[in-house]
Amino acid sequence: MWTVIYLLPMTMHAMAQIDYESVKNTRDELLRQELGMMLGHDIVLSDSELKANEVIMGLKYAELDHAFRQPQLFNLSKHFFEYKDEVKSTKLFKLIQKMPKGAVLHAHDTGLLSPDYIVQLTYLDNLYVSFDKGDVNFMFAKESPITSNGKKWQLMKNARQSSGDIEKFDTELRKHFTIVIDNPSEVYTDVNSVWRYFQQFFITTGPLMTYKPVWEKYFYDTLKALRDDNIMYIEIRSILPELYDLDGEIYDAVATAHCYKKVVDQFMVDYPDFFGAKLIYAPLRLVDVNTLKEYIKIAKELKKQLPDFLAGFDLVGQEDLGVPTKDFLLELTEASKDLDYFFHAGETNWYGTSSDENLVDAIVLNTKRIGHAFAINKHPLLLNEIKKRGIALEVNVVSNIVLKLVDDVRNHPLASFLAQDLPVVLSSDDPGVWEAEPLSHDFYVAFLGAASRHADLKLLKKLALNSLYYSTYDNKDKLVHEFEIRWTKFIDEVVREQWRS
């Protein structure tokens, strides 16, 4: 009886005798090659940038090494609400605030400014309010509104004065303009629950924001907040709701877009160092096919009337509960010859579901960028497709934490995106709703929490440049040239002041 012996195949390398030096050299070479693949590897730093990099990495190492020794103290492993204010006092955050960050390419119009700003809007004249079982309703009018639902309305200024404690009144009112709470893990137990609160923000503030003078003021002040956070350009998503005024005039979606364009034009007169804005028309995805056809008709009219202002089309809303993109594939395919797409896709933890497969539909419909793309790491073929097609991934790291896709930012797929040199654009989604800065928090959290410890100034610069390269701005050379001027000034300041050591 014969005994058959199976030998495991061995490579010549594995069979060869190894020694310490060869092991160490191979280790160093593997690490070197891996770092050479990281986003930003193609950036060559000047002598001044190398000096600035020493300062920046000193600040980064200090925070990371302290946390590595005492992981329970690492802010970014906790919920964003716990550390959002504390990190503002760090030198690294202040430095990132001063850093030119390029453009915001993924943000929703009425979710950008803070709850304190919205509270101030409630001091405007002609605002009526109705309180009903914990809810608050707003409406601007010349006289007390008469509504079919029997709501009792009063002037906001009267309600505030009669409260007996204006500070307490405003504190309670403010709670309707934010989803920040003290116990998010207990209240926001899953994705659906936090989305309900998130959507309620827009329901509550809608009648306040869609008053035409407020709509225009809010957008003007949004552009100012972006500029103050060292952002030079924005492509803003909007559902383009109907606006109203005190005379009973109603303004449709196209008129709303014209309001936006008027505000942008005025802002650029007032602040000529800002590079403007474009619009991505982004209505809700939880609709039927006939409603989608109406959306497409509006988008085509916008392109006809505002060809230089409309960037393209998207569908928004919670993907897990929304209509999957595949249900609209025929209509969107037909419209693709007239419209550019910037689809939300893969903002989900589910694998193989319709919301996950929205990624496939976005790609085959030739989307220019993908909003979030949180789930794309599970799809190696799709990763290759976005590289081949040059489709940027609009990553909103703080949003993904707040809206319950990931608890610890160190586990965010952004880490893998950066390691693979994917075309990442960092953005902020709805920072005002969770009380973040327009973009600085997202850069800080990404740089310190998701990126490698070794990721340095090259990554920061590449992320900023990507936001310009993947924008739809008409003269990118001009945009990048101006960015380089601002970047050089920033680097000189970091070197000169040694970041206020």
Which residues are marked as active site?
A: 347, 372
**4 burial level (CB within 10 Å; 0-12, 13-18, 19+):** exposed
- Closest Cα partner for 298 from 259, 215, 241? 241
- The pair of structure tokens assigned to 210 is 């869609």
Backbone phi, then psi, for 235, in 5-degree steps? -115, 110
Contact of 389 with 431, CB cutoff 8 Å: no
User: Tokens representing 353?
Assistant: 């579901």
- The answer to whether the CB of 362 falls within 8 A of the CB of 379 is no
Query: Token pair for residue 242?
Result: 């109907």
Work out the end-to-end distance of the chain between its first and last CA atoms, rounded to an integer number of angstroms.
Answer: 80
Task: Tell me the sheet residues that pair with 313.
Answer: 281, 341
Contact 217, 113 (CB under 8 A): no
Q: Phi and psi dihedrals of 216, rounded to 5?
A: -70, -40
Block residue for tokens 């997202």: 442
- Residues belonging to the chain: 501
Q: In this structure, which amino acid lies at residue 254?
A: V
